[in-house]
Amino acid sequence: MKDKGILPLGVMTSISHNPLEDLKKVKDMGFTTCQLGNPPDDYVYGEKSAELSQRLKQAIKQTGIKITSVFIMYKGHIWDLKDGPRTIGLVPEETRAVRVVHACMVSNWAKKVGIDTVTSHMGFIPADSGSSLYKGFIDVMKQFVALCADNNQLFAFETGQEPPLVLRRTIDDIGANNVGVNLDPANLLLYGMGKPMEAVQAFGEFVVNTHCKDGKWPAGGGDLGQEMPLGKGDVHFEELIPALYDKGFRGPLTIEREISGEEQVRDILAAKQFLEELKLGFSKS
């Protein structure tokens, strides 16, 4: 790793009506990149959209923070193994139409702001590729990623609700060259869908971003597994990142810690140190 610019570190963050303050927090923690969570509706819809979007563009310019992706979220998600299949992403037919419209709106908004990648959980993709649910989902995804292509954007699947081989098959069936993966290795464990190294083998060459968080396998009962501070779970980043690198991945490494308050900040900074030390050791290997 002679090029110090590869595998840059970032953090998952949100934006308020004061994006300069939000991005300054990212910079003050020592990061050069970030991913945005789902933008508030005022940014995407309505009369305040132009003003707020311009504020964000100015904040990007002033801080120098590179936004590597914006995350598309949909109302009504239930993050568990019991109700998740009927509520998450674009797979459920009952909510698909309105959610596709929102996804397209966020993609169009991201183009105006200058963000070239959009990311989303698309749901519990059916293992049965012959089912009408799967075929309808693929048809919608082909249309959506075509819009992203028109916006000069990459679409990246967020991992979690599907086994790695199912996601790889889905990417192949969509058949577009602007489809990638935002690898959240902890999610594979939290949802009980596979091991992180299985994902590297299945679609490592499609990984364009990461969520660096850690976790444990579900204990049962329909709840997800437990998210953990980086290095305290079962992802084993010391094996994962070199394996991704061998597949051509060059970053960014985006830290995500799905708690709040002072503990979140402490864990993010500890994760930053963990990854910096990992990168240092990796560069000497």
Taken in order of first residue, the domains within the chain and their CATH numbers are 9-283 (3.20.20.150)
* Pair 148, 178: CB distance under 8 Å: yes
Distance from C-alpha of 275 to C-alpha of 285, rounded to nearest angstrom: 15
The whole-model pTM stands at: 0.95
Rounded average pLDDT over 62-72: 98
- Predicted local distance difference test score (pLDDT) of residue 1: 43
Q: What is the pLDDT of residues 77-119, one digit of tens each?
A: 999 999 999 999 999 999 999 999 999 999 999 999 999 999 9
* Pair 20, 62: CB distance under 8 Å: yes
Rounded average pLDDT over 189-198: 97
Quickly state the pLDDT bin for 5 (edges 50, 70, 90): low
Of 3 and 89, the structure prediction assigns the larger pLDDT to 89
Specify which residues 212 forms β-bridges with: 255
- Predicted local distance difference test score (pLDDT) of residue 220: 85
Residue 135 has which token pair?
Answer: 């075929």
Model confidence at 3: pLDDT above 60: no
Q: At 139, is the secondary structure helix, strand, or coil?
A: helix
Q: What is the pLDDT of residues 242-270, one digit of tens each?
A: 999 999 999 999 999 999 899 999 999 99
Beta strands in 139-224 (DSSP E): 154-158, 179-183, 207-210, 214-215
Distance from C-alpha of 283 to C-alpha of 4, rounded to nearest angstrom: 9
Distance from C-alpha of 32 to C-alpha of 142, rounded to nearest angstrom: 33
Q: At 34, is the secondary structure helix, strand, or coil?
A: strand
